[in-house]
Amino acid sequence: MIEYPKVAVVILNWNGKFFLEKFLPSVYNSTYPNVEFIIGDNASTDDSVSFVREYYPTIRIIQNDDNYGFAGGYNKVLQQVEADYFVLLNSDVEVTPSWIEPVVDFMQKKDFIAAQPKIRAYHQRDHFEHAGAAGGHIDYFGYPFCKGRILNITEKDEGQYDAENEVFWATGAALFIKSSAWHEAGGFDADFFAHMEEIDLCWRLKKMGYKIGYTSKSIVYHVGGGTLNTSNPKKTYLNFRNNLLMLQKNLPFWRALAVIWTRLWLDLIALLHFLAEGKPRDAWAVSRAHQYFFLYFFKTALKRKKYNAKENKTGLYKKCIIWDFYTNKIQKYNKLSVNNFHNK
């Protein structure tokens, strides 16, 4: 008799009744034989919780007493969940019935501590979706990108990234992670609130020597921007702020100084670009991100840790993806030289 490890699929909700109505049926029809479905609610003020209670009475609901964001919300909810694997799934994701099995099998066979399925766009179903695509990477200056998505350009999925392999980070839109690794790493950094918390978590796991994987044998469809769309200045603020915090936490000391110094100037260019585009609120968001970084510099410094294991750098890009994109006109992942990636 086959023993299936227990999987807990946890959807964090905040005023998301529309997405729950639309996408929860596909999740609920998952065929994996040992699964628990959980809605973690960040003190919603709509009737999403009552909707789940009425139409999905077997789904467990864990309610937080406030909106702690994506990072803090999941931290509080997962403290109350017991399973071998956690699946952190966005509420705006459509899945197929057999989406869980391939990822769990892949992780067990290849000894990956965390992994993601292929992420396609819900509204353009033959294209990769921005948040994760076919697995995440990060460049020398901390800019994240994916197989199938560089900056704001997403590729059509033509099977070019179907190889199962190791990546640097797995998307928080559909993150599979062993519960033991989640607890060992301490979960998300709650100060991030939202955006890049999964990259920070994966970076810590890599520093522990663990492997992060991607498999194309499972495909999900992500709407994206369900809570904050790409043009929201709050998203601009969180992305610029959290990227600096992540660099300060995870880079070696002297390299952190050099990279963050460079990033501050690059961010200034971005600020001026926002102003030139007539987006003063986004420009102010970049400034606010820098203000937070300096105000809480010493608090973030205390989060730096040394690990006994040899750091796994696989998936780190040795060059600057911004330079490659704008100067070298590289807009597809498979046009990047494999020699510019760390592979161990």
Contact between 14 and 227 under an 8 Å Cβ cutoff? The reply is yes
* Average predicted confidence (pLDDT) for the chain: 95
- For residue 228, is pLDDT > 60? no
- The pLDDT tens digits of the residues spanning 12-25 come to 999 999 999 999 99
Is the CATH number of domain 7-222 3.90.550.10?
Answer: yes
What are the domain boundaries of the chain? 7-222, 233-302
Phi, psi at residue 292, to the nearest 5°?
-60, -45
- The pLDDT tens digits of the residues spanning 99-145 come to 999 999 999 999 999 999 999 999 999 999 999 999 999 999 999 99
Contact between 211 and 111 under an 8 Å Cβ cutoff? The reply is yes
Contact between 134 and 155 under an 8 Å Cβ cutoff? The reply is no
Q: Supply the pLDDT for residue 3.
A: 85
Contact between 242 and 196 under an 8 Å Cβ cutoff? The reply is yes
- For residue 229, is pLDDT > 90? no
- For residue 226, is pLDDT > 60? no
Q: What is the value of pTM for the model shown?
A: 0.95
